[in-house]
Homo-oligomer: A and B are copies of this chain.
Amino acid sequence: MTNSTTLAVAQLGPINSGESRESVVSRLCALLQGAADAGANIVTFPELALTTFFPRTWVEEQEDIDQFFESSMPSPATQPLFDLAQQLNISFYLGYAELTEDGRRFNTSILVNGEGRIVGKYRKIHLPGHSDRKDAPFQHLEKRYFEIGDLGFPVFTDRGRRISMCLCNDRRWPETFRVASLNGAELMLLGYNTPVHNIHWQEPEHLRMFHHRLSLQAAAYQNSLWICAAGKAGEEDGSVLIGGSCIVSPAGEIVAQTTSTGDELIFAIADFDLGEHFRRNIFNFAAHRRPEFYGAITDPRPGRVTDADVE
């Protein structure tokens, strides 16, 4: 296989409140080292990989929530991860809560190259959940704590690959992967935090893992993409996360997946010629797509019969 890149996904077990950034970063560094030892070129870490998944908790005061945000990147606490990437010449994707200089807050991921330099940034567009439901045992307050991302779905080149990024709920929306693919992506990296329980209704629990995989597999197949998906797993501050981190090929098949609910590495030697079969034939966009009939997708006020309700 001459056209390959070795991909790693680094799942994280829980990060409970009170665990220091330094402790978390030392876990990330151990995983990065393990990935490099196995010959990996690119490592994907989860969404909000430096703290607990704090959007599950209602916090009244802004200053109490800002402890979960990073006002610089790298920061003193995360610098060792950047230094290690440079030392090992390995690239990584990392999700974190971003506080900008002008006081805006985003659910963000970055792509850091083998020189320890940030070469790409993404800010989450599909924020899930609701804005206020104080009576629930767990909440999903991303719409309260974050602004909608403002960077679109850009594509960055690293290791000779055209790489796009997204975060968690973005993966359920086919538009995410389609736009990235139209922008030239051949590899999608994503982190997520998915609770076992659906807060919205009494959904059968097996559907959570099924929908996670279904969305990734269909997106990989329909867009000729390699996908690396890294989750947090296990019981975090009393809420159980699904785990199930995986690597999906452009054929839509899961080629590697985690088996635990803790810190764990998985790998795939990814053949990037595989995507070309799909990209040139059944999903040859120039030959087969019919954008003239897709207008409803970009209509800002679509005529869907049932909507509203949430928020």
Looking at the assembled complex, report how far the CB atom of A87 sits from the nearest CB atom of chain B, in whole angstroms.
33
Chain B residues near A298 (CB, 8 Å)? 291, 294-295, 297-298
Copies of the polypeptide in the assembly: 2
Q: Which of B172, B289, B302, B311 contacts A287 (CB 8 A)?
A: B311
Known A277-B200, A287-B310, A309-B284; contact A293-B218, beta-carbon cutoff 8 A: no
Pick the contact of A218 from B127, B214, B276 — CB < 8 Å? B214
User: What distance in Å separates the Cβ of A46 from its nearest Cβ neighbour in chain B?
Assistant: 20
Chain A residues with a Cβ closer than 8 Å to the other chain, count: 71
| Nearest Cβ on chain B to A80's Cβ, whole angstroms | 34
> Do B182 and A293 touch (CB < 8 A)?
no
Check if A303 sits within 8 Å of B182, measured CB to CB.
yes
Q: Interface centre among A126, A198, A310, by most B CB within 10 Å?
A: A310
Please name all residues of chain B whose beta carbon is closer than 8 Å to the beta carbon of A173 when the two chains form the complex.
222, 288-289
A311: B residues at CB distance < 8 A: 287
Cβ of A251 under 8 Å from chain B: yes
The answer to whether B203 and A277 touch across the interface, beta carbons within 8 angstroms, is yes
A183 touches B (CB below 8 Å): yes
Q: How far is the CA of A128 from the CA of B281 in the complex (A)?
A: 9
In the complex, 26 of the A-B residue pairs with CB atoms within 8 angstroms, ordered by the A residue number, are: A126-B289, A128-B282, A148-B290, A172-B282, A174-B222, A175-B293, A178-B297, A182-B302, A182-B304, A183-B303, A201-B281, A207-B251, A207-B253, A211-B252, A279-B306, A281-B309, A284-B308, A284-B310, A285-B302, A286-B304, A286-B307, A286-B308, A287-B311, A291-B302, A292-B300, A294-B298
Chain A residues within 8 Å of B, Cβ to Cβ: 125-128, 148, 152-153, 162, 169, 172-175, 178-179, 181-184, 198, 200-201, 203-204, 207, 210-211, 214-215, 217-219, 221-222, 251-253, 276-277, 279-300, 302-311
